[in-house]
Structure 1
Amino acid sequence: MSESTSTTSLEETMDLSEVNPEILEEIFLRFPKKDLVKCSQVCHLWKNIINTRSFWVAKEDYEGETYLRSLIDTRKPILGNDFALLSIKRPYERELLVHENPDGKTPVTKNADPRWYFNDGGNGWRYQEPPSFIQSHFHRDFKPIFDGCHETSYGTCSKYFDLSIKDLGLTPEVMDNFRPPIVFSEWVTNRSDCGCLYRSSIQLFNENRHRIAWERQELSFDQWQYQLWQKVEVVMQSYPPGARSIRILSSGRDLQFWNGHYGPKMAGCQLMIKMEETPPPTQPFELGGLQDAPME
């Protein structure tokens, strides 16, 4: 067989333009997800097969996954119609952080999502395992729910990370029209012999990196207050249009300027996007630059 004949046969073998759509779908189910996104750009027929909810539900069934079905089972309106993006990124109703980093250089970074940036104050951050407590000053409801925690010092110790909505699997249309709630939570406690202060915030920025909205919570502990893990939750919702990136920030320091690690202890942080629509904002928010964003 000549080279030209072989090439012609190969081209004829690879021509899928006349294949029955049902057969094409069976073929596509066996492709990696990211390759399917490229396939949808080949022609209208392929796009019409791939860019449907039913196809991506079938794809997840084929892969033994249940994410899209779990969203459908909530009986809530699904925010967004890019089901490829939803299946690949899985932005809603799940924990978006991890709690370990094998590539971390210190115990602080090894026991945290690799996207966190840590800024030291005083004696800096410390990862303590088990957490350091005054044994005679536990609240009656105290439970040792964490084997280790991040501890802060007498100068403000802060940590933050930035995420684009694209990285999360959210589109500008979803952010501008539905404003799904962004929820950050963290468990916090004290060492009872020293007063301390904890703060956390969610900040939204537009494409020019101007801050367009932010929400903050804080929790203070008096000296000799009984030790008890408390969950602090920040919810960002009903925000203005234009949000294109998110900054999560938490910080802590002791209030008595003691050498060592007597500031708030933090553990079990979580980030979640709720698949819910919230109302538009009722008041305008003054634009602020990234340099104006509070760091504690």
Structure 2
Amino acid sequence: MWKVEEMPGDFGHDFYNDGVTKYFVTSFELCIKRQVVDLLAEGYSSDQLDAQPVVTVEDWYSGRTDCGCTYQMTASLLDENHEVIQEFKPEPVTLDPECDDCSWKKVHHSFSDYGPGLRFVCFEHGGQDTRFWDGWYGVRVTGSSVSIEV
């Protein structure tokens, strides 16, 4: 289960951009959010997408200074049948306030040279706290984006 909180939140860190005032926070259970972006519905043509434009995904995550957390993220380029063309899935990250600063970290990846057929982008991220405390003590995420250079 997710919750939206105000920046910087209890035991939190300021974000680099003052315009970002909220973030999603996870619970003690694994919380995953997934969004599939239909690129044709967003106004891109099949010809534009088949030209293999650079697709960039970005996400920001942080932890609390009083409770550890895990973060994971997957971004996938999908064809018209929702089959994966190319995927970015970094190793999950564990933040421990006893040895990490738990401040906001950026995940950034650009897809290129993936072949024709791109029609959707699937973006998934989430995590949980490592102490299984009741409430919202897990990873915080904000600033997620998908951009396409045509």
Letter in 2 for 1:248: F
Conserved? CA contact 1:127–1:148, under 8 Å = yes
What runs of 5+ residues in structure 2 fail to find an aligned partner? none
SS for the counterpart of 1:250 is: strand
> Deviation at 1:256?
2.5
Q: Whose RCO is larger (CA < 8 A, sep 6+)?
A: 2
SS for the counterpart of 1:170 is: coil
More helix by share: 1
Aligned twin of 1:212: 85
More strand by share: 2
Q: Could you give the per-residue CA deviations for residues 170-198 of structure 1, whole angstroms, max 9, x where no partner exists? A: 2223323x311111212211102222121
Name the CA distance, whole Å, in 1 between partners of 2:31 and 2:54: 27
Asked if 1:190 is matched to 2:67, the reply is no
Q: CA-atom RMSD, angstroms?
A: 2.4
Q: Which has the larger radius of gyration?
A: 1
Aligned twin of 2:104: 229
Kindly report which structure 2 residues correspond to 1:1-296, keeping only aligned pairs within 5 A, or say none. Answer: 124-134=1-11, 145=18, 146-176=20-50, 178-217=51-90, 218-224=92-98, 225-275=100-150
Name the CA distance, whole Å, in 2 between partners of 1:143 and 1:237: 28
Letter in 2 for 1:250: H
Letter in 1 for 2:35: F
Question: Judging changes above 3 Å, is the alpha-carbon distance between structure 1 residues 130 and 207 closer, same or farther for their aligned structure 2 residues?
Answer: closer
What runs of 5+ residues in structure 1 fail to find an aligned partner? 1-123, 276-296
> Deviation at 1:144?
7.6
Letter in 2 for 1:209: H
Name the CA distance, whole Å, in 1 between partners of 2:148 and 2:141: 21
> Deviation at 1:142?
7.1
> Deviation at 1:247?
1.2
Name the CA distance, whole Å, in 2 between partners of 1:216 and 1:148: 25
Letter in 2 for 1:164: D
> Deviation at 1:143?
5.3
SS for the counterpart of 1:270 is: strand
